[in-house]
Amino acid sequence: MREYTPDEDRLWQRKLRAQFPIITGHPELAYLDSAATAQKPQAVLDAVQTYLTTTNANAGRGTYPWANKTTELVERARRRVKEFLGDPDAEHSSVHFTSGTTEGLRTVARDWLVPQLADGDEILVPFSDHRANLEPWQEARRLLAARGVDVHLRALPYQETSGDYDHRALAEAVGPRTRFVAATHVHHVYGGDMNVHRLRAAVGPRVPICLDAAQSVGHLPVDVGDPALDVDFVVFSGHKAMALPGTGAVWARNTRGPVLAPAGWAGTPNTVGVVSLLAALDWLDAAGVDRVARHAVRLATRLTDRLRLLDVYEILGCGASLAAGSPLAEGQRRQGIVTFRHRDIPSDDLGFILFSHGFMVRADSLCQAGADEKDGVVRVSLHVHNTEEEIDRLLAVLESLA
Ligand code: PMP
């Protein structure tokens, strides 16, 4: 990717920020919760309005122009998801629209994995990531147990020092009965890239890998055409990638094992949501996802570098902040997510205090598997509309609380 001068970046960022009506309409507030759901640029709002006022009909049913156009838009969105993930011409791959990552992971578990598992099989799953990427595999195990089929869930090993997956231990954990690996691209609490580009080498060529890409698609490049990212499923939420809530997709490579075929009659798809996803992916591509990611990382680094100087704050994950010029530091590479706690102020109180200054952050246990209420943290998650000035104002408040 080409280098831009700071002035070019500032101009680019200002132009993009201006395209978020909810942001420009509330200059007194700073939205720092894009990991929960992303705000929508005008182009997405326009696409929804245009679709609903000119075309709205059911997809795959009917022969009149609005119905045909709707069907065509859904198919175009399917192709667009493939392109966006670096898989424009794959012969075998497929895209299934869902309501989000949670439903997508459940679809892979219930409709693809369960029918293939036999007594004594093992699957490797993450026990410290989002619960949406643990419960579907636990449910699969329960479903099979009820049929007398005993499947073992083993923990995907983590490195204690860096927090990403321990690829060496993983290679040792994969055995002849390992049938599946579920992993996460970017950790929603620790904010780091889990070094998933090393998974395939660790897991070997045979075992399918499913990637929870809820915190990566729409935030940083995800390229399944990269041989190092030879995963079998990419599951993501459209609403975190600037589309409407209730949208998401599963991309399936369909080369290891059967083709993913969601069971049963699917019913009417969320056509408006799919149209919004099409517009959102277009918008993100035009903005440049790699540039968006670099902006978020820059802001996250600005925040962590100064927060680290204050003893009262504990920053979770990603031991070292990204030093300028070393974006490939070993271990977790921080993306646009910074999670921390204050030594004396409970996290929900800190959330209220920050909102009294206009900052919208997430303050709770972040749906992390195994975490409970007392594990409250504050999470700041950044996107292209956020600015250095917002980070500096936030730091001033956090410093005043130290
Ligand atoms: N996985 C991760 C890593 C997430 O951050 C989230 C959302 N917080 C999910 C899964 C679930 O996504 P959704 O609620 O859109 O289904």
Q: Is the CB of 93 under 6 A from ligand 1?
A: no
Please check whether residues 292 and 372 belong to one and the same domain: yes
Angle value at C-alpha 190, between 186 and 192, nearest 5 degrees: 40
Indicate if 218 and 248 belong to the same structural domain: yes
pLDDT of residue 329: 42
Q: Which residues contact 27 (CB under 8 A, 6 or more apart)?
A: none
| Cβ contacts of 237 within 8 Å, gap of 6 or more | 100, 101, 104, 214, 217, 247, 248
Residues 52 and 34 in one domain: no
* 302, part of any domain: yes
Do 189 and 313 lie in a common domain? no
My answer on whether 160 and 227 are in the same domain is yes
- Asked if residue 67 and residue 18 are part of one domain, the reply reads no
Give the gyration radius of the chain's Cα atoms: 21
Task: Name the β-bridge partners of 98.
Answer: 248
Q: Is the CB of 212 under 6 A from ligand 1?
A: yes
Based on the domain organization, do 282 and 372 belong to the same domain? Answer: no
By the 8 A CB rule, do 249 and 236 touch?
Answer: yes
Do residues 330 and 393 share a domain?
A: yes
Tokens for 231, please give them.
């995963």
Domain of 19, in residue numbers = 6-40+288-400
User: Is there a single domain that holds both residue 110 and residue 186?
Assistant: yes
**CATH number, domain with residue 250:** 3.40.640.10
Q: Into how many domains does the chain fold?
A: 2
* CATH classification at residue 321: 3.90.1150.10
SS3 labels along 64-78: CHHHHHHHHHHHHHH
Inside any domain, residue 159 = yes
Q: Which of 286, 310, 341 delimits the end of a domain?
A: 286
Measuring from atom 4 of ligand 1, which residue has the nearest CA? 214
Whether 1 is covered by a domain: the verdict is: no
78 located within any domain: yes
Taking each helix axis from N to C terminus, what angle separates 65-84 and 271-287, rounded to the nearest 10 degrees?
40
At which of 286, 313, 329 does a domain end?
Answer: 286
pLDDT tens-digit profile, the chain (402 residues): 778 999 999 999 999 999 999 999 999 999 999 999 999 999 999 999 999 999 999 988 888 999 999 999 999 999 999 999 999 777 899 999 999 999 999 999 999 999 999 999 999 999 989 999 999 999 999 999 999 999 999 999 988 767 788 999 999 999 999 999 999 999 998 888 898 999 999 999 999 999 999 999 999 999 999 999 999 999 999 999 999 999 999 999 999 999 998 877 778 889 999 999 999 999 999 999 999 999 999 999 999 999 989 999 998 876 543 333 333 343 458 899 999 999 999 999 999 999 999 999 999 878 888 777 667 899 999 999 999 999 999 999 999 999
What is the distance between the alpha carbons of residues 359 and 390, in angstroms, rounded to a whole number?
Answer: 9
Q: Which of helix, strand or coil describes residue 249?
A: strand
Best residue among 233, 367, 379 to mutate for probing ligand 1's pocket (most ligand atoms within 8 Å of CB) is: 367
> Does residue 236 belong to any structural domain of this protein?
yes
Q: 132: Cβ below 6 Å to ligand 1?
A: yes
Residue 196 has what DSSP assignment?
G
> Minimal CA–CA distance to 381: which of 304, 323, 266, 326?
304
Contact 82, 91 (CB under 8 A): no
Distance CA 36, CA 22 (A): 16
Same domain, 89 and 135: yes
Atom of ligand 1 nearest to the CA of 102: 16
Which residue among 240, 256, 286 closes a domain? 286
> Domain for residue 352, yes or no?
yes
SS3 155: strand
SS3 262: coil
- Does residue 335 share a domain with residue 273? no
Distances (CA, A) of 136 to 212, 255, 296, 366: 12, 22, 30, 18
Kindly state whether residues 300 and 347 are assigned to the same domain. Answer: yes
